[in-house]
């Protein structure tokens, strides 16, 4: 069996790296298909912010007693779009929002006779995510063709991974928000596999005229690298599921492999929900929910669906729970039928004959493992060990830029709790008002550290500190020069100090 190197495209996050690939005898792994259709759902458009969801319930509401008699079972398939510089199997770039059909080539347009060539950055990102999720990484995996017809899939098949995914059997740990009772959870990861995205259909608005509507095809997204992360059916509430998805987002952002942006479709979740009587080992009929464009919507959609299914059970109408795909309608706050599944689709998977088997060495996986940054879970545990409250821990570790800012300030000598208070109080308020990220302000971690020290040693009061902070954030400069410039030193700098910071 001959081995050949594959093309290494540049990644935004990792240097070139070549992996050895072994040619695989085609058609040797034909397997029966078992999953179902993943036609694209409409584009998400709203916020990723996870807000307090109120449990949504259908009109024929299930009672709390009914709900407590049933156990919800929730599993999630997450698609993460990787921010590599080029697509998975061709040199085309991808930039969200480019004019339609401008970042395409014969390979991603599916022209006959073209040959895909694997982007090494896809493999490297997949291994990084797999390691971050504590998965077992397969040193040998392969690509398969998943065949179905859809207008945004010009080849007539999607290059994906079927029976030999890049990774499997992992787990994800998280801390639930205190508003929901807090507590730690561990959810299993079934598998992580690599695949390409399809194009997009843009449906014209026919409401303004009586003429028939049209759908336009934009193939810019065709061939963009994706990771599909499949969870075990371990979640039991909408909040657990939304927090699981939020943790996936944090992980890919910490790793720098994706922007994880739900509005742009860089992070898409399909959720499977079923309910079963408490104590019943068998799963109920599962319903898939799509079209949730925020973690908040996800939480509400799942809780609605749980209530809907429990109500049907309680009313003796469990036969009306059928295997189907439902859409979340944010306006109406309910799920509605999108399509009924008449049976499992047969994708006629077979090994992709144009792409050799992906072969990794233990050393390559170890090298990627060593290159990973501190991950959200490790950061939360470290912050906890520094004496911060769970509220502080969750806030600071949520965004890697905020966490980096905090870590830098503390490394420069800032008091841990005071640094957390300033960041979570005045700085966060400023960022929120001005719609900025912490990387976009002129305040540096060093000057925050100086500011805290100046208040702590009594050079300035906390009130003056707040005034200086606004200047530092908006205009930059140093604490020392601002104190001198404005003659702000307290009359008796050692007499009293105001430790307060707003929260």
Q: By C-beta, is 116 or 445 nearer to Zn ion?
A: 116
d(CA 159, CA 89): 9
What is the nearest approach in angstroms of Zn ion to the Cβ of residue 119? Answer: 11
Q: By C-beta, is 48 or 220 nearer to Zn ion?
A: 220
In this structure, is the dihedral angle defined by the CA atoms of residues 85, 88, 89 and 95, taken in order, positive or negative? negative
> 474, 433 in Cβ contact below 8 A?
no
Q: By C-beta, is 105 or 176 nearer to Zn ion?
A: 105
Query: Taking CB under 5 A as the criterion, which residues in 437-496 touch Zn ion?
Result: none
Q: By C-beta, is 97 or 343 nearer to Zn ion?
A: 97
Instruction: Find the angle CA(74)-CA(80)-CA(83) to the nearest 5 degrees.
Output: 165
> 414, 452 in Cβ contact below 8 A?
yes
Query: Taking CB under 5 A as the criterion, which residues in 131-150 touch Zn ion?
Result: none
What is the nearest approach in angstroms of Zn ion to the Cβ of residue 107? Answer: 5
Q: By C-beta, is 92 or 255 nearer to Zn ion?
A: 92
Which of 20, 22, 105, 390 is the binder for Zn ion (CB under 5 A)? 105
By the rule CB under 5 A, 85 interacts with Zn ion: no
d(CA 300, CA 304): 6
Q: By C-beta, is 108 or 246 nearer to Zn ion?
A: 108
Q: Which range binds Zn ion by CB under 5 A, 99-107, 241-249, 294-302, 388-396?
A: 99-107
Q: Which range binds Zn ion by CB under 5 A, 62-70, 86-94, 136-144, 487-495?
A: 86-94
Q: Which range binds Zn ion by CB under 5 A, 91-99, 238-246, 273-281, 417-425?
A: 91-99
What is the nearest approach in angstroms of Zn ion to the Cβ of residue 88? Answer: 9
Q: Which range binds Zn ion by CB under 5 A, 5-13, 103-111, 158-166, 199-207?
A: 103-111
Alpha helices in 108-237 (DSSP H): 120-132
Site string for Zn ion, 171-190 (x = CB under 5 A): --------------------
What is the nearest approach in angstroms of Zn ion to the Cβ of residue 141? Answer: 23
By the rule CB under 5 A, 92 interacts with Zn ion: yes
Alpha helices in 105-194 (DSSP H): 120-132
- 445 three-state secondary structure: helix
What is the nearest approach in angstroms of Zn ion to the Cβ of residue 20? Answer: 25
- 146 three-state secondary structure: strand
Q: What is the CA radius of gyration of the chain?
A: 26
Sheet of strand 324-329, all strands in order from the earlier edge strand to the far edge: 136-137, 167-175, 184-196, 225-231, 70-81, 267-277, 287-290, 324-329, 334-340
Which of 24, 76, 90, 289 is the binder for Zn ion (CB under 5 A)? 90
d(CA 33, CA 47): 35
What is the nearest approach in angstroms of Zn ion to the Cβ of residue 349? Answer: 23
Alpha helices in 216-261 (DSSP H): 238-255
Bridge-based pairing state of the strands 287-290 and 324-329? parallel
- 327 three-state secondary structure: strand
d(CA 503, CA 501): 6
Which of 439, 502, 450 is closest to 477 using CA atoms?
450
What is the nearest approach in angstroms of Zn ion to the Cβ of residue 93? Answer: 9
Residue matched to tokens 């503390």: 410
What is the nearest approach in angstroms of Zn ion to the Cβ of residue 223? Answer: 5
- Lookup: tokens for 247: 């943790």
By the rule CB under 5 A, 108 interacts with Zn ion: yes
Q: By C-beta, is 105 or 202 nearer to Zn ion?
A: 105
Q: Which range binds Zn ion by CB under 5 A, 97-105, 110-118, 200-208, 275-283?
A: 97-105
What is the nearest approach in angstroms of Zn ion to the Cβ of residue 468? Answer: 52
Q: By C-beta, is 218 or 288 nearer to Zn ion?
A: 218
Instruction: Find the angle CA(33)-CA(194)-CA(228) to the nearest 5 degrees.
Output: 75
Where is 71: in which H helix or E strand? Answer: strand 70-81
Residue matched to tokens 């600071």: 396
Q: Which range binds Zn ion by CB under 5 A, 36-44, 52-60, 89-97, 236-244?
A: 89-97
Q: By C-beta, is 92 or 455 nearer to Zn ion?
A: 92
Q: Which range binds Zn ion by CB under 5 A, 105-113, 278-286, 307-315, 474-482?
A: 105-113
Q: By C-beta, is 107 or 252 nearer to Zn ion?
A: 107
What is the nearest approach in angstroms of Zn ion to the Cβ of residue 108? Answer: 3
What is the nearest approach in angstroms of Zn ion to the Cβ of residue 220? Answer: 9
What is the nearest approach in angstroms of Zn ion to the Cβ of residue 13? Answer: 21
Q: By C-beta, is 108 or 365 nearer to Zn ion?
A: 108
In this structure, is the dihedral angle defined by the CA atoms of residues 373, 378, 380 and 383, taken in order, positive or negative? negative
Which of 137, 126, 131, 143 is closest to 168 using CA atoms?
137
Q: By C-beta, is 153 or 271 nearer to Zn ion?
A: 153
What is the nearest approach in angstroms of Zn ion to the Cβ of residue 65? Answer: 57
Q: How many residues bind Zn ion (CB under 5 A)?
A: 5
**Torsion-angle region of residue 141: left (phi > 0), alpha (psi -120 to 50) or beta?**
beta
Q: By C-beta, is 114 or 285 nearer to Zn ion?
A: 114
What count of Cα atoms within 13 Å lies in the side-chain half-sphere of residue 146?
23
- Lookup: tokens for 441: 């302000």
Interacting residues with Zn ion (CB under 5 A): 90, 92, 105, 107-108
């Amino acid at each position: 069996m001959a081995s050949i190197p594959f093309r290494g495209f540049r990644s935004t996050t990792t240097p070139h790296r070549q992996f050895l690939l072994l040619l695989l005898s085609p058609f040797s792994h034909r397997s029966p298909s078992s999953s179902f259709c993943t036609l694209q759902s409409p584009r998400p458009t709203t916020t990723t912010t996870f807000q307090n969801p109120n449990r949504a319930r259908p009109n024929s509401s299930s009672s709390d007693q009914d709900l407590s008699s049933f156990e919800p079972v929730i599993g999630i398939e997450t698609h993460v779009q990787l921010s590599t510089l080029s697509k998975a199997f061709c040199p085309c770039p991808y930039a969200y929002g480019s004019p339609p059909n401008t970042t395409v080539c014969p390979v991603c347009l599916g022209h006959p006779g073209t040959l895909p060539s694997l982007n090494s950055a896809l493999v490297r990102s997949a291994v990084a995510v797999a390691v971050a999720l504590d998965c077992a990484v397969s040193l040998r995996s392969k690509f398969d063709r998943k065949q179905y017809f859809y207008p945004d899939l010009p080849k007539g098949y999607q290059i994906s991974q079927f029976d030999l995914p890049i990774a499997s059997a992992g787990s994800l740990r998280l801390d639930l928000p205190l508003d929901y009772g807090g507590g730690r959870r561990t959810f299993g990861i079934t598998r992580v596999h690599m695949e390409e995205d399809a194009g997009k259909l843009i449906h014209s608005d026919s409401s303004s005229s009586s003429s028939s509507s049209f759908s336009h095809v934009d193939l810019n997204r065709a061939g963009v690298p994706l990771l599909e992360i499949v969870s075990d059916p371990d979640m039991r509430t909408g909040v657990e599921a939304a927090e699981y998805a939020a943790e996936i987002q944090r992980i890919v952002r910490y790793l720098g492999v994706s922007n994880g942006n739900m509005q742009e479709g860089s992070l898409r979740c399909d959720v499977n929900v079923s309910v079963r009587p408490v104590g019943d080992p068998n799963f109920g009929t599962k319903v898939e929910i799509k079209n949730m464009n925020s973690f908040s919507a996800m939480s509400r959609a799942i809780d609605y669906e749980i209530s809907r299914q429990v109500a049907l059970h309680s009313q003796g109408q469990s036969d009306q729970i059928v295997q189907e795909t439902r859409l979340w309608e944010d306006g109406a706050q309910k799920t509605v039928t999108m399509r009924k599944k008449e049976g499992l689709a047969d994708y006629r998977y077979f090994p992709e004959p144009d792409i050799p088997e992906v072969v990794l060495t233990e050393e390559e996986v170890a090298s990627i493992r060593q290159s990973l940054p501190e991950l959200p879970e490790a950061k939360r545990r470290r912050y906890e060990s520094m004496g911060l409250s769970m509220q502080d821990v969750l806030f600071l570790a949520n965004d890697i830029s905020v966490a980096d800012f905090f870590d830098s300030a503390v490394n420069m000598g800032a008091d841990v709790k005071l640094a957390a208070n300033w960041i979570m109080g005045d700085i966060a308020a400023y960022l929120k008002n001005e719609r900025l990220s912490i990387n976009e302000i002129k305040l540096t971690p060093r000057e925050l550290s100086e500011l805290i020290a100046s208040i702590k040693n009594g050079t300035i009061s906390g009130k003056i500190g707040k005034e200086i902070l606004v200047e530092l954030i908006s205009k930059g400069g140093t604490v020392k020069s601002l104190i001198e410039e404005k003659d702000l030193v307290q009359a008796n700098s050692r007499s009293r100090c105001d430790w307060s910071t707003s929260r």
